[in-house]
Amino acid sequence: LNFKTIRDARLFLIVRPAFDVDSFVRFLTSAAETWSRTDIATPAENIVEVAGRVCYMSFGDRQSPRTNSQYISRLIEQGHESVLEHVSWSFILTGVTRSFTHQFVRHRVGFAFSQVSQQYRDQSDAAVIEPLRVSEEASLSKAWRAAIEQSAQTYRALLRLMESMPDTIAPSQNRREFDRRIRSAARSVLPEAVETTIVFTANARAIRHFLEIRGGILGDDEMRIVSALILETLLPEAPALFSDFTIEQAGGLPLVKRVQVAHAEVNRKP
């Protein structure tokens, strides 16, 4: 079996917001308005700012001297957060457990998920992810691995047995549904530690909510690691949208916390 730990989780950012400045300027021209960009903002940050400004048409003379960061900070302070829903990112998250994704997909609002299927994919060679609390102690690890090996063997044995037994679905007639049936039955012995891969798309408001309620749960190692991966990935993408979150270290693992900092202090890489 391929044993991993939750430190092997990997996050790949595959889609990011694109701001069509030319098109936006055409809109402004059609409305006889102008916009002075007051900061070096990323596409995501610009989209949020212009969405907010369109609400009040605060362009031209009505534009306050606030920077993009200050503007976004004020939107958040005021609770005008639907504006943050205009920007979203898509990721592939891999090296996480099925138990993690069971919790993850509970986030209903502003998230979309597509996950590897255990009905279409034979799980005989699936990797398993050892909890850190187990892997840091040899006696725990030994007992844990024995149980995991046992369930993997039972999974493979069940598939073999069902393959050769008569079934209400004839494999020669409908291989796909036959496989679905036997894999569904066999997977019931798989542990929650089985590795999975999930594609997810989420908007900035939903991600902020996720980080706030999930990132700082001291006893949830996997949530902490994934939350930190998301925050690390998004901070350069949109510092004004996420720099009120910080990553602390506790017990050798990251802990995401929301701190109140003025967005005006956002540090941008040149």
Ligand X SMILES: Cc1cc2nc3c(=O)[nH]c(=O)nc-3n(C[C@H](O)[C@H](O)[C@H](O)COP(=O)(O)OP(=O)(O)OC[C@H]3O[C@@H](n4cnc5c(N)ncnc54)[C@H](O)[C@@H]3O)c2cc1C
Locate 152 and state its tokens.
Answer: 């993997």
User: Is residue 109 near ligand X by the rule CB under 6 A?
Assistant: yes
- Closest alpha carbon to 255 in 211, 208, 202: 211
Order of strands across the sheet with 88-97?
Answer: 10-15, 88-97, 195-203, 111-115
- Paired strand residues for 246: 257
* Residue (59 or 113) nearer to ligand X, CB: 113
Least Å distance between CB 246 and ligand X?
19
Least Å distance between CB 108 and ligand X?
3
Q: Rounded to an integer, what distance in angstroms lies between the CA atom of residue 172 and that of residue 168? A: 12
- DSSP secondary-structure letter at 20? -
Least Å distance between CB 217 and ligand X?
6
Question: Which one among 23, 106, 164, 270 touches ligand X, defined by CB under 6 A?
Answer: 106
User: Is residue 112 near ligand X by the rule CB under 6 A?
Assistant: no
Output phi, psi for 38, to 5 deg.
-100, 5
The catalytic residue positions are 214
* Residue (14 or 213) nearer to ligand X, CB: 213
267 Cβ neighbours under 8 A, 6+ residues apart: 239, 243
Question: Which one among 7, 74, 107, 181 touches ligand X, defined by CB under 6 A?
Answer: 107
The one segment of 88-96, 106-114, 123-131, 244-252 that binds ligand X by CB under 6 A: 106-114
User: Is residue 217 near ligand X by the rule CB under 6 A?
Assistant: yes
Tell me the residue number closest to ligand X, measured at CB. Answer: 108
- Closest alpha carbon to 6 in 226, 252, 228: 226
Residues binding ligand X (CB under 6 A): 106-109, 206, 209, 213-214, 217
